[in-house]
Amino acid sequence: MRRSYWTHTSETGENKLDSIEPRFLEISLSAQLQPSASRKQFYERISVGNCAPLWEVLHGLISAEPQTPCLPYLWKWDTVWPWIQEAGTLITAQEAERRVLVLENPGLRGRSSITHSLYAGLQLILPGEVAPAHRHSQSALRFILHGGGAYTAVSGEKVTMNVGDFVITPSWTFHDHGNPSSEPMVWMDGLDVPLVEHLDAQFMEKAPVTVQSIRGTQGENMAQFGNTMKPVEYRAKSKTSPLFWYPYDRTREALSALGENTEIHPCWGHKLQYTNPVTGGWAMPTMGTFMQLLPSGFKGGDYRSTDSTVYAVVEGSGRCIIKGQTLEFGPRDIFVCPSWMPYRFEVDNQAVLFSFSDRPVQQALDLWRETF
């Protein structure tokens, strides 16, 4: 049996698949020599000086394909919604600072991670509550799942949030949340917490006030950056998009137009990438964000990529089939597809899915791969 591996062709700058006999890449366990007494003694001696033999661990460190402890999993809204409501009776937003149920990947329990590099959680703000202002070096996104009328304020700019909206909190910007509406508000938080922690670059600071003074609104932000234009005097201070509010009605309209006028992709249907309107690049430097439309009856082909992806269902129903496991999804459900595991979609009722991953980081480091 032969295996296919990605290689890089410097002459063309393209990736291609090379077939290589597995026997040249792997050493069977039976052929590996057990450490002799003299080797064990050597290992013990060098261990005292904090050294270790690479040849004992090489095949685990550099595998033929991505190996991840992350597992496919789906969090049903009908299951977590009662828990979210109960959390609202046990602790206030002020006490908790952020009242959030962390979505822990079953293969990474205890690490507050939904993938190796990403964090996700469900945040609740009850009517009349305020989550106090703070800032951190981690970048954050909010994707609204339930309710309407709550707000987030980022560096003094206030945006009112509704279901399907995508909102950005850039790294090291003060932000607070509040809910002046009459109903509970729930959104999915997505952050690059594990990645920043891995780089030992995590910082956090509480603001001197609970609520920021407001100097701008989503209307002004949209007028400045939401119409393929920008103020002449604008100079970028960050790689994060200056447009921090992407309303769902605009996104949905764009997806509908795609569905009517463009050819459907065999794996992901009609899919759009959120972008920085000033640069045309990713909206956030560490997390790629997307929205896609899958028509009723859609049966997609297998797709896999090196970026583990978190999905949130906005509309519709269907299933994601990944490594023989079927994840049945409906509105407000969240599921994760780990790195390099082939998956495909089957849709019953037209579905709209939001997703985020660490693709920008992988592409910046020339690590990202996909096959379909």
Encode pLDDT of 113-134 as tens digits: 999 999 999 999 999 999 999 9
Q: Are residues 15 and 144 in the same domain?
A: no
pLDDT band for position 240 (50/70/90)? very high
For residues 346 and 319, is the Cβ–Cβ distance under 8 A? yes
Please check whether residue 159 is in contact with residue 210, taking contact to mean a CB–CB distance below 8 angstroms: no
Between CA 278 and CA 280 the distance in angstroms is 6
Share of the chain above pLDDT 90, in %: 87
Whether residue 98 is found in the same domain as residue 20: no
152 shares its domain with 57: no
Q: CA torsion 83→87→88→91, rounded to 10°?
A: 180
User: pLDDT for 12-54, tens place per residue?
Assistant: 444 444 444 444 444 444 445 577 899 999 999 999 999 999 9
pLDDT, one tens digit per residue, over 289-325 is 999 999 999 999 999 999 999 999 999 999 999 998 9
Q: Give CA–CA dist 151/161, Å, rounded.
A: 6
pLDDT: which is higher, 19 or 105: 105
Look at residue 168 and tell me if it is in a domain. yes
Residues 15 and 83 in one domain: no
Domain match, 48 and 80 both? no
Same domain, 55 and 97: no
Quick check: 319 and 273 in contact, CB under 8 A? Answer: no
Last residue in a domain, options 15, 34, 61: 61
For residue 292, list its beta bridge partners.
Answer: 271, 353
In-domain check, residue 67? no
Of the candidates 113, 110, 169, the residue with the CA atom closest to the CA atom of residue 136: 169
pLDDT exceeds cutoff 90 at 191: yes
66 belongs to a structural domain: no
Tokens of 177: 């949340």
Note whether residue 34 is domain-resident: yes
Provide the 3-class DSSP secondary structure of residue 310. Answer: strand
| 123 shares a domain with 34 | no
- For residue 60, the model assigns a pLDDT of 87
Q: Tokens for 254, please give them.
A: 């764009």
Do 248 and 297 reside in the same domain of the chain?
Answer: yes
The confidence score (pLDDT) of residue 278 equals 95
C-beta of residue 169 within 8 angstroms of C-beta of residue 98: no
- The lowest-confidence range among 3-12, 94-103, 130-139 is 3-12
Residues 177 and 51 in one domain: no
Single out the residue in 31, 61, 91 at which a domain terminates. 61
List, for residues 131-190, the tens digit of each pLDDT value.
999 999 999 999 999 999 999 999 999 999 999 999 999 999 999 999 999 999 999 999
* Same domain as 340, residue 232: yes
Which range marks the domain in which residue 14 is found?
A: 3-61
Do residue 274 and residue 174 come from a single domain? yes
pLDDT at 32: 53
Looking at the fold, whether 166 and 250 belong to one and the same domain comes out as yes
Q: What are 182's two structure tokens?
A: 């009459």
Q: Are 314 and 331 in contact (CB under 8 A)?
A: yes
Asked if the model's pLDDT at residue 7 lies above 60, the reply is no
- Residue 233, in any domain of the structure: yes
Of the candidates 167, 342, 320, 178, the one whose C-alpha atom is nearest the C-alpha of residue 246 is 167
The count of domains in the chain is 2
What CATH number should be reported for the domain holding residue 201? 2.60.120.10
